[in-house]
């Protein structure tokens, strides 16, 4: 879920004219960033070693 403050800040940085595709792309990115921050704040993270192990399993 996006925060209104961050959406307003992001949109205020847009040029006067922009496409709906640009807006949607930016909102998706913003949502993913906010989710990542929430996950990190809640301790939903893994170590670099765990990540390396997962990646090597995916590549098999």
Lowest mean pLDDT among 3-7, 26-30, 50-54: 3-7
**pLDDT one-digit tens code per residue, 16-41:** 999 999 999 999 999 999 999 999 99
Q: Where do the structural domains in the chain lie, given as residue ranges?
A: 4-58
Alpha-carbon span 31 to 12, nearest angstrom: 17
Number of Cβ within 10 Å of residue 31's Cβ equals: 15
């Amino acid at each position: 879920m996006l925060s209104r403050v961050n959406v307003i800040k992001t949109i205020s940085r847009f040029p006067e004219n922009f496409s709906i595709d640009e807006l949607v792309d930016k909102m998706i990115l913003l949502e993913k960033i906010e989710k990542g921050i929430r996950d990190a704040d809640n301790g939903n993270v893994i170590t670099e070693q765990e990540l390396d192990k997962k990646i090597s399993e995916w590549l098999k």
